[in-house]
Amino acid sequence: MIVTLTVNGELRSASVPPETTLLVMLREHLHLTGAKTGCDVGDCGACTVIVDGLAVNACLMLAAQADGRTVTTIEGLATREGLHPLQKVFEETGALQCGFCGPGVIMTSKALLDHTPEPTPQEIRTALTGNLCRCTGYVKMIEGVQEAAAMMRSPQSPALAGQSPALAAPEQK
């Protein structure tokens, strides 16, 4: 079957078997390998992408279920002007160690910040319960999400200088 998605702002199509997951379509058919294959059964969150504004485990969603929908992957966050504030903060603060969980954590955090621009540490912790990290205690990650949120709320922030208007004033849902 032909599945067509809007991925990171571009219309992309692939011919896939009906049982193909969104994760396999992204990684193997569209060559977007930022979303990771961890458990493949919905336990680890390494495969998290955003579909129509919601963070989802791409290993649990059929590509057919995503047909016609809008998908954002980690590859879609940075702009020509620079990294997304979440990427920038995580890179600068060493919030991650091995990094395997990183794309999923960042996409879950982005979905949270798109809906909740000023989350509490508990709200961030709750949002990240589906993202397993075997290396860290989540403390730096949670601080990093709060720091990125502050940057995104403040268009004057030096970290956002040169970023697109969409980043300086994130779309509200």
Query: Nearest CA to 23 among 145, 107, 87, 96?
Result: 107
- Selected from 6, 37, 65, 93, the binder of ligand FES by CB under 6 A is 37
Number of residues that bind ligand FES (CB under 6 A): 22
Query: Nearest CA to 149 among 81, 101, 90, 104?
Result: 90
Contacting range for ligand FES; rule: CB under 6 A; set: 8-16, 43-51, 65-73, 120-128? 43-51
Contact yes or no for 46/53 (Cβ under 8 A): no
- Selected from 42, 78, 123, 143, the binder of ligand FES by CB under 6 A is 42
Contacts (Cβ under 8 Å, ≥6 apart) of 130: 45, 48, 57, 108
Q: Is 54 in the site for ligand FES (CB under 6 A)?
A: no
**Site residues (CB under 6 A) for ligand FES, limited to 61-120:** 96-101
The residues that touch ligand FES, with contacts defined as CB under 6 A, are: 37-40, 42-47, 57, 59, 96-101, 133-136
